[in-house]
Structure 1
Amino acid sequence: MRLPFEYQKIDADGININCAVGGEGPPVLLLHGYPQTHLIWHHVAPALAANHTVVAADLRGYGDSDKPPAGPDHAGYSKRAMARDQVLVMRALGFDRFAVVGHDRGARVGHRMALDHPDAVERLAVLDIVPTRYTYEHVDANFAQGYFHWFFLAAGNGIPERLIDGDPEFWIRARMSSRHQGGTTFDPAAMDEYVRCFSDPAAISASCEDYRAAATIDLVHDEESAGHPLECPTLALWGESSFVGRTYDVLAAWRPYATNLRGAAIPSDHYLPEEAPAATTAALLSFLTERIGEQ
């Protein structure tokens, strides 16, 4: 399965990032989450491309992008490193300033990108997350059960890699189906692509390093950024049935992190772009076409 866009791999300082580019107009970068690829946007991207230049990219470690070693302190999969990749991709495509829309892990990369590269990120949409630092500061038994995979994937000694590699297809399908309630079903072709990409042992290892970074070096970077909220227009969307929607006051969680914030619940569970594509697209189009300064 592919988007109806032009595909290319772009060298981001030695890391080849797979992306699909389509449409014409103001640029918008779409970033996916775990355990998916850019194809999570297969409903949304073509609609956005009617009025925007859309770049749907695979994060490093995911999809058909490179999967480099993590290096010391998991820094190779810090959100800072992953964000820099995508900034370089957009520059290579001729875009110095652009909008970013991220779901799940991609939203965390987008958040770090807006902090580290404020001149590049014109506006930011984060789908079904609250900030990483906020999340770790509010861990309880409910979170430990609902988001057990954060702790499992961050475990050391190769434990999650070995266990997932035993049956990656089961892990993918079970993990995703447990976070989907009603709405549009997952496209079988998209699911097959998620399974194909994630069945690579290098992808399994890289995604674990993503979560290890989140529990370590990302928190260091987030602490350094504390007290410096985003100034760009920021949209938070969340699933009204998702763990995020059921657990947090999402806008209250984001307010200390973003000065120009708005948001709404979408009738879905976690996978907004696939479960509720029409509502997600409408909310994103409204935000992307909103004049800066209006709210």
Structure 2
Amino acid sequence: MKTPPSTIFPHLDRAETALKNKIRREEAQYGRNGKAPDSLWNHVLRVARLAQRLGVSEGVDPLACRLAGIFHDAGKFRGGAYHHDDRPEEEWSVTTLREITGNLGFEPSLIEQVEDAILQLYRNDPEPTPLTRILFDADNLDKLGRLGVANYFIKEGLRGRGISASMLYRITIELTYARHAPHCLATATGRQMAAARAPETREFFSYFLDSIRQDGLYDFIIEEVDFNNLTIDVVAPRACECGNPIARRIWEIPGIKCSEIHLEHSCTGCSSVHELKFCRPRLAGQAGC
């Protein structure tokens, strides 16, 4: 039986309970449905556990790893809004970290270390701390493998998207991240774990698209597209439902927290247009990788 983290780390249980209540309340406000989902809380909990596992292998303080994982998305729905007051969620996460841990007896140097790690993720610092590298890897590993696939469908469902064309287009993001993860994670342990998990992601979605094609539901294919020194696994239909060809446009612009890849598909014969955007993966040799 595993020893509860709160037994090993005094004060942690109170901090996590307070954060869980806050995250669930703000996510419910953001969803505007009055329900208190556990989607974000479960994500940060998984990231915290992955961070601890990575920390043990990489020689980084497990308490710092746990706190960084738990609080890294604490500001995502601050005030019931995404990027409240047009501030990056990492800045709000640090604010929440200070608010919750301020009177719980944590060492100030520990909290400062966690703050730096969370903010470095946003700034994409060229020389990230070991804790930042751990946090970066843990957050990305949660999106990979069979569990990552399951979480993808859960998130799509929470956003009101069933198995639809809109959802299928977004598989582009999952496949592209899975392609690059084994090469761009920041720790040796993280890269090793990504190398084991990424093929699971890519294999599942390939079979999934084959299955719905064979059932006559959607005829989407995967195409490797090179753009600005990045290979993107574009998932799109062979043709529009009206039978006309589909034109593709890709561009990149600075976003609030990352460099954003925008991908647009538009029918050449009707008004059908689909656009998605995602953060550009940090490739090996780039800052933060």
TM-score by length of 1: 0.31
The structure that has the greater radius of gyration is 2
Higher share of residues assigned helix:
2
**Quick one: higher RCO (CA 8 Å, sep 6+), 1 or 2?**
1
